[in-house]
Each structure stands twice: as structure tokens, then as C-alpha cells.
């Protein structure tokens, strides 16, 4: 009896402590943002979002109210932490904050430029050489990734430029827009590469951030940031109150939030995965443009539309800066095209989209990363997936988003989902490689 009473008091104290922290607001911020984008950008129903996309952790307990006219999603958690996200055509959804109220956030507008070519390489089907692979084994590996509680939404496997395996979850197909989460970091890598090719930036030079002048942060280079070796203090915990959850759920200007990070050690001394670091890069990329419309158009004109990734959309925060760490949507087939660009060393249809050697730079282990990370891409050089080829590298995102590249096999493997569930990605990737 006494023990039960003590446990009850402790539980009550924990609940009260939780409710008095920013935690409810973080829950509602994440829930509102995902719901707003999924509904107004990806076109999914409130029921689907609740059952699949927001059905995890404490996020599943958030109550969502949609406003079809204002294009907003408002979330509450146990009646607390009310937050609204608003959808803006061409820019995606953003959290409404004190600094960026609804009217100010809605002021931003952008018309995504139309693709110069609408040809889809996967629909041409005019390849003279057919790839060699074991269809039965491949289908078995793909089917297995959808079984039970694996929460897989889509799988696309491309070999020698041709789709050899493809499957979608219930209610989804090849036209469904799917969130990449931190695979967006890899898009930010590509944007940086294109800027290098155009002479807009030099990754070996220190970044010019006024707030960093006069202290040790002034020495941080673009390369340090791209390799997650800036030395900046950061907490990347997605399941509690942390730097990353406060940034994504509560801040209208994520670049300004991230640059407040203090130096913890010298650059390259320690690898530290950080979404804040990527949003610093995104903010620095914005500063290379005199016109914000040119900044917004750049990824479409110079990357997405050049490789036929025409479904892709990068979302901005309320200030108008791309959330380079986390928020981009594309179809599974278009995510595969992104992987193919790196497989082909940045070449596409005879045109150099990324600088020569940029893919090799991307896949080069970063200092102190023990072979697990390159430049805004994850690597298998350190044996993260022990049974898969060590040369494999790719984009990875929260909830089990993957675009993996295996150069020797001329293979790109895409897996997208609403969670990792009990999926063993090492086994999944290895079985596909063996079948191919």
C-alpha cells in the first residue's frame, strides 16, 4: 500500500513536471507540422495521417483540427501546447510562432518553376541492355519488408538505371509524395555541390557569420559543417526536450536558432550529428542570393528539374529559409533518381549537375566519424550494416527513410516508411544486393 502510494506520487510529479516544461508544445509542434504538410501538400486524409504518419511516441495523442480555407492544422496535447502550422503554396508548411504569426507567415509566396522537361526516364523503357538479377529473390526481400509491423510505405530498387523492384503500402502508389525527413540533409549536400561548381562558395573557407566573429567559431569552414565536425554544442534527441525538437517544433527562424550554439571543441575533433548544423548551411546558402525568389528557385532549376525529380518540394520555415535538415517531399521514384545522380558521379543525360568528384567527396569518411558518415550522407565504411557492401552509402531519415547507393552493383535502393518497426535494414539491404 505504502509503496503504491509512493509510486503514485512519483508518477504524478513526473506528469506535472512534463506538463510544466516545453514538452507539450514540442509534441503539438511536431504533430501540427506533419499533419499540415501531409494533408495540404501530400493530399492525405486526416484519418490516414492519424493512423499512420502521426501514430508514434506522444505525437499520437495530439488532437488535430484542420482549417481547409486557411490551410492550417492546429494541434493540442491534453488541452495544452496549442500550436498551428500553415501551408503556403510553393513553400510548404511552417509553424506559426510569436515572432512569425499567421498573417506574417502567410505573406510569403512562391510559384515553383515549371520543369523544362517532363520526360520520365522510368517511363521511357527504351534500354537495350536489361539488367541481370534474380526476380524471385528480389520480390521476396521486398515483400518481407512490408510484412508485420515494419511500417514500410514504399520500396523502389533501381539497377543499371531501370526499376527492377517496386511496391507500395495500402493507399499509396508511385505518385504519392513521401517525406524524406533527414534525407533532406543530402539534398542540402547537393545544393552545396552545385554552388561549388558555380563558384558561389568555397567549402575550404571559413563561413562568414557575424555572430561568430571574435570567438573560436570564426574558424569553422563549410567543410566542417558539411561533415558534421563543426565542434558546436548540440543535442539531437528526437524524443525529449532538446536542441533539435525545440528548433523544429517551436522556432520560426531555424538558422538563427542554430547559430546560437556555442563551441564545445575544435573543428574536426569530434563528429556530432546535428540538424542545427545543416540548417546553418541552409541559411548560409540563402545568403548567397540577393533575391529570395532566386534562392527558392535554385533547387528546382539546378537540381530537381534537371534530373526529372519533378515531384520534389523543399519546405521553408516561417522566415523563408529551407529547412535543409528535415523537410522535403518527393515520390519514391524521384527519391531513386536522387540516388542515381550520385551513382553516376553527378552526371545526368550528358550534363554535369554536380562537380566532378563531388560524389566521391560525399562518400569520404569524415574525421572522427569512424567510417559512418561522409558529407551529409551516411556511409557503410564503418560497418553500420555488417553484411552489406562497405562501399554502400546513402541518405537516411527519421522513421526509416533510406536512399542507398551501391556503386559496384549499379544499384539504388529506396525504402520509405512511417516508422522503422521491426525492419532489419541490414538484412533488407543485404538480401536485395544478393538478388541483384
- Which residues are 76's β-sheet partners? 63
Phi, psi dihedrals of residue 138, rounded to the nearest 5°: -65, -45
| Whether the predicted pLDDT of 3 surpasses 90 | no
Instruction: Please answer whether residues 396 and 405 qualify as being in contact, where contact means their C-beta atoms are separated by less than 8 angstroms.
Output: no
- What pLDDT score was predicted for residue 7? 53
* pTM, rounded to two decimals: 0.95
Across 244-274, b (16+ Cβ under 10 Å) vs e yields: bbbbbbbbbbbbbbbbebebeeebbeebbbb
Question: What's the pLDDT score for residue 124?
Answer: 60
pLDDT band at 130 (very low <50, low <70, confident <90, very high): confident
Return the pLDDT at 211: 96
Which range among 17-31, 175-189, 216-230 shows the weakest confidence by mean pLDDT?
Answer: 17-31
**pLDDT of 338 strictly over 70:** yes
Average pLDDT over residues 254-279: 97
Confidence class of residue 73 from pLDDT cuts 50, 70 and 90? very high
Residue 143 pLDDT exceeds 70: yes
Give the list of residues 6+ apart from residue 17 with CB closer than 8 angstroms, or none: none
Rounded to 10 degrees, the C-alpha dihedral 183/189/194/200 comes to: 140
- What pLDDT is recorded for position 400? 97
pLDDT at residue 386 tops 90: yes
Inform me whether the pLDDT recorded for 9 exceeds 80.
Answer: no
What superfamily would CATH give domain 139-435? DD-peptidase/beta-lactamase superfamily (3.40.710.10)
Residue 258 has pLDDT above 90, yes or no: yes
- Enumerate the domain spans of the chain: 19-106, 139-435
**Nearest-angstrom CA–CA distance, 295 and 253:** 16
Residue pLDDT, tens place only, 148-178 = 899 999 999 999 999 999 999 999 999 999 9
On the question of pLDDT at 24 being above 80, the answer is yes
When pLDDT is cut at 50, 70 and 90, the band that residue 117 belongs to is confident
SS3 403: strand
12 pLDDT band, cuts 50/70/90, is very low
**pLDDT number for residue 96:** 98
Phi/psi for 39 (5° steps) reads -80, -50
Neighbour tally for 434: CB within 10 Å: 15
- Per-residue CA distances from 413 to 83, 314, 396 (Å): 37, 22, 12
The tens digit of pLDDT for each residue in 26-66 reads 999 999 999 999 999 999 999 999 999 999 999 999 999 99
Beta bridge partners of 417: 152
pLDDT at 15: 46
pLDDT digits over 311-328, tens only? Answer: 999 999 999 999 999 999
Average pLDDT of the residues of the chain: 94
Amino acid at each position: 500500500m505504502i509503496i503504491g502510494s509512493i509510486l503514485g506520487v512519483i508518477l504524478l510529479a513526473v506528469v506535472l513536471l512534463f506538463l510544466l516544461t516545453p514538452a507539450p508544445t514540442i509534441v503539438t509542434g511536431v504533430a501540427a507540422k506533419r499533419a499540415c504538410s501531409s494533408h495540404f501538400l501530400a493530399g492525405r486524409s486526416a484519418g490516414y495521417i492519424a493512423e499512420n504518419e502521426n501514430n508514434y511516441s506522444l505525437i499520437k495523442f495530439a488532437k488535430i483540427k484542420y482549417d481547409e480555407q486557411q490551410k492550417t492544422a492546429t494541434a493540442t496535447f491534453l488541452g495544452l501546447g496549442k500550436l498551428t502550422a500553415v501551408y503556403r503554396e510553393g513553400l510548404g508548411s511552417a509553424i506559426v510562432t510569436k515572432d512569425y504569426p499567421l498573417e506574417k507567415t502567410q505573406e510569403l509566396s512562391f510559384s515553383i518553376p515549371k520543369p523544362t522537361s517532363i520526360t520520365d526516364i522510368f517511363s521511357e523503357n527504351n534500354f537495350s541492355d536489361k539488367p541481370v538479377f534474380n526476380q524471385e529473390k528480389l520480390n521476396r526481400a521486398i515483400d518481407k519488408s512490408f510484412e508485420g509491423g515494419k511500417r514500410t510505405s514504399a520500396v523502389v530498387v533501381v539497377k543499371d538505371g531501370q526499376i527492377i523492384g517496386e511496391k507500395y503500402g495500402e493507399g499509396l502508389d508511385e505518385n504519392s509524395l513521401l517525406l524524406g525527413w533527414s534525407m533532406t540533409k543530402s539534398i542540402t549536400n547537393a545544393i552545396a555541390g552545385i554552388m561549388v561548381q558555380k563558384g558561389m562558395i568555397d567549402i575550404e573557407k571559413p563561413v562568414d557569420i557575424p555572430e561568430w566573429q571574435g570567438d573560436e567559431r570564426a574558424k569553422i569552414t563549410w567543410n566542417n559543417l558539411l561533415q558534421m565536425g563543426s565542434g558546436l554544442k548540440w543535442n539531437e534527441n528526437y524524443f525529449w526536450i532538446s536542441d533539435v525538437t525545440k528548433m523544429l517544433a517551436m522556432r520560426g527562424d531555424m538558422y538563427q536558432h542554430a547559430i546560437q550554439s556555442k563551441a564545445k571543441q575544435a573543428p574536426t575533433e569530434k563528429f556530432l550529428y546535428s540538424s542545427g548544423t545543416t540548417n546553418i548551411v541552409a541559411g548560409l546558402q540563402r545568403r548567397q542570393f540577393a533575391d529570395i525568389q532566386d534562392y527558392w528557385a535554385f533547387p528546382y532549376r539546378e537540381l530537381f528539374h534537371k534530373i526529372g525529380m519533378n515531384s520534389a518540394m523543399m519546405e521553408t520555415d516561417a522566415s523563408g529559409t529551407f529547412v535543409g535538415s528535415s523537410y522535403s517531399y518527393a515520390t519514391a521514384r524521384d527519391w531513386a533518381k536522387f540516388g542515381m545522380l550520385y551513382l553516376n558521379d553527378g552526371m545526368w543525360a550528358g550534363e554535369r549537375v554536380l562537380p566532378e568528384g563531388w560524389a566521391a567527396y560525399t562518400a569520404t569518411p569524415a574525421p572522427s566519424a569512424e567510417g559512418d558518415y561522409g558529407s551529409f550522407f551516411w556511409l557503410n565504411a564503418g560497418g553500420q550494416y555488417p553484411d552489406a557492401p562497405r562501399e554502400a552509402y546513402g541518405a537516411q531519415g527519421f522513421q526509416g527513410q533510406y536512399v542507398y547507393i551501391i556503386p559496384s552493383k549499379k544499384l539504388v535502393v529506396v525504402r520509405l516508411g512511417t516508422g522503422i518497426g521491426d525492419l532489419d535494414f541490414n538484412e533488407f539491404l543485404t538480401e536485395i544486393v544478393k538478388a541483384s
